[in-house]
Amino acid sequence: MLLLALTPTRPEAKSRWRTHALVVNSWGGALGKAQAEAFFRPFAASSGASVLHYIWDGTLPVLAERPPIGRGTWMLALMEDSTARIACLQGQLQRLGGSPGSADACGVPALHDGIALAWDRGRVPSAPHWADFWNVVRYPGKRGLRKDPRSTLEIALMADGVPASDVYTVLATPEGVARAFHKLSQLRPYIVWWTDAADSARIIGNGSVLMTSAAAGEVAAMQDAAGHRDVGLQWDQSLDDVLCWGVATGLDDATRAKVRALLTYMGQPEQVTRFAALYHGRPVSGPQPIPMDAAFWQAHLPELTKRFADWLAAPS
């Protein structure tokens, strides 16, 4: 857990502060640090509202296991758009507008974070593509992939020659799903799995892998730090993952007012500019990431998550 805000020193004041704090679940790593600097700390200082920032993995099971409202229970959470859509229809997030059957009105846009190919430039001088990612003969070494069907299956199909514009059309068919898993099976002995954005940068930065799919903002932050490997980012065939804020159900009026105040604060131009200067999730120019299809994943995430888990559990 990261604890962010002005913390009272007296024990009884600290207890009251925790009880009435605005609890926010978000990523860790460079993204979490940038949000703390651009949003949470200045909001707490200007409004007097305490903010507790917990790091979480943003998955549906964590949302489903959320305990009743009480001290330490999250009130605002950062998640992928596809996660928010499913949670919205399951009644796990507060509907902010739209019709009851719509999944478009439960998330407040937060940011776009690119998932790109990161590679060790000290060992591979020229920029590889996803097809090269699978070529362990020419480029021997471990590969990093996200332990989630999202992004991983799209990458497998692009590595197998499917044009980026056709990925979701192919993946929507049983043959396309089988093709993606067959491609993953070819690389399986070489895969190092990552589960959170910060970890994707860590495994390439410490040399655990030669190449990896990675949260580009985390890699960019690592590139700016001293003492790390020379890591490149390939933006061709990268993916644009949209993240949004979800508001918990069951909040009282006072808590909802605090949540709205923080959301409003984070949307102000000054804060948006401050955050953009701290976290670089997409390139300013050049090739732009391919939008991940949130509607596709809303429809297919449960079944493909099970298929992915079964594939992971199967003998190599």
Instruction: Give the model's pLDDT for residue 123.
Output: 94
Residue 51: phi and psi, rounded to 5, are: -125, 125
Residue 12 pLDDT exceeds 50: no
Instruction: Give the model's pLDDT for residue 316.
Output: 74
In tens, the pLDDT along 175-210 reads 999 999 999 999 999 999 999 999 999 999 999 999
Output the six-digit token pair for 97: 């507008």
The dotted CATH code for 113-240+288-313 is 3.40.190.10
Instruction: Give the model's pLDDT for residue 10.
Output: 41
In tens, the pLDDT along 15-54 reads 443 456 899 999 999 999 999 999 999 999 999 999 999 9
Average pLDDT rounded to a whole number, residues 213-218: 96
Instruction: Give the model's pLDDT for residue 101.
Output: 62
Query: What is the pTM for the complete model shown?
Result: 0.89
CATH for the 11-111+242-278 domain, from 3.40.50.300, 3.40.190.10, 3.30.565.10, 1.10.10.10:
3.40.190.10
In tens, the pLDDT along 232-260 reads 999 999 999 999 999 999 899 999 999 99
Residue 141 pLDDT exceeds 90: yes
pLDDT over 70 percentage in the chain = 86
Instruction: Give the model's pLDDT for residue 115.
Output: 97
Domains 11-111+242-278 and 113-240+288-313 in one fold: yes
Task: Report d(CA 178, CA 147) in Å as an integer.
Answer: 18
| Average model confidence (pLDDT) across the chain | 88
What is the 3-class SS of the chain, one letter each residue? CECCCCCCCCHHHHHHHHHHCEEEEECCHHHHHHHHHHHHHHHHHHHCCCEEEEECCCCHHHHHCCCCCCCCCCCEEEEEHHHHHHHHHCCCECCCCCCCCCCCCCEEEEEEEEEEEEEECCCCCCCCCHHHHCCCCCCCCCEEEECCHHHHHHHHHHHCCCCHHHHHHHHCCHHHHHHHHHHHHHHHHHEEEECCHHHHHHHHHCCCCCEEEEEHHHHHHHHHCCCCCCEEEEEEEEEEEEEEEEEECCCCHHHHHHHHHHHHHHCCHHHHHHHHHHCCCCCCCCCCCEECCHHHHHHHHHHHHHHHHHHHHCCC
Q: State the pairing for strand pair 107-120/231-247.
A: antiparallel
Domain positions in the chain are 11-111+242-278, 113-240+288-313
How far, rounded to the nearest angstrom, does the alpha carbon of residue 3 sit from its chain's CA centroid? 20
